Amino acid sequence: MFLFVLILLIPTFCQSNFDKKEFHWKLPLGSASHESKADELLKINVAGETLFTTNSTLTYIPNTKLSLFRLWPRDEKGHLFFDFPPNLFKDFLSQLRRWSIRNNRSDDIRFEPPSWKVKDEFNEMIIALGFEKYQRIPPTQCIKYKLIDDFYYRADVTPNESYETNKTNKVSGWTRFVDQAGTIIIDYVPTGRNFRPCGYSWVFGWFFGVYPTRLYSTTIGKICYYGPQNAVPCDRTANGTISVTHCGDYFVFDIQITDNHPTICTIDRPMPS
């Protein structure tokens, strides 16, 4: 009789202890049923390339599509799958990780594309991840500017003293040079005997400064004028400050109005990578 009661009690006792215990099965990192913790390491699949990140990085900025990463598709191994260019995604993830380390959730933070050449593709990815308000927005001068396509601004144009010389005033304010007018203002002192560029014989302007290399950044320099009456560069009363903004595949220039109407000289040059 005692043996019969013992046999009945053993399954009940085992079941009771089984119910009190929690069992955590080893599921793939990043899988849908894997229980995440803040600093848990996640393995993700980005267009076929395996990357590692943490749950805290992906969820650092809340209310984004990325922070709801459990809704994203999975690969055959159960890992998160993101269909974006791996290099762009890694650059994005690196910036997000830096912000999480600095504990910066300011609305002023902006994602920077690794190069202006991929800015459109990078911004498309940012929007798809739900970070549209954190993308870099073009400054006003990259949208609103005057277009100049006059070939007489070019440094290699045949001199023509009868041509109208009041050309700097025409390009005052934010200006972009296109087509026949070249793409940039020369950034060197032209040399050579009887050098008379830009379709005018005596006075021409060149940029004394450094062109910006980062997307949407602006540098400030001087417009210098050189003529036979004064052989010292940047030593004329007409010299003025100029701002140059990198707008991706072109520059825009903010040139001051001058009193004695000198000429700006331009050339063709590829944008810096």
CATH 3.30.710.10 domain locations along the chain: 24-134
User: What DSSP element (H or E) covers 123?
Assistant: helix 119-128
pLDDT tens readout for residues 108-162: 778 888 888 888 899 999 999 999 888 888 889 999 999 988 887 777 665 555 4
Q: Span 69-80, mean pLDDT?
A: 89
Opening angle at CA 87, ends 84 and 89, nearest 5? 50
pLDDT tens readout for residues 190-237: 665 445 556 554 567 888 899 998 888 999 998 887 654 555 556 655
237: left (phi over 0), alpha (psi -120 to 50) or beta: alpha
CA distance 167 to 150: 10
- Edge-first strand order for the sheet with 173-177 is 146-148, 173-177, 251-255, 240-246, 218-226, 204-208, 263-264
The CATH architecture of the domain made up of 24-134 is: 2-Layer Sandwich (3.30)
Secondary structure of residue 227 in the 3-state scheme: strand
Q: Please tell me the predicted confidence (pLDDT) of residue 173.
A: 85
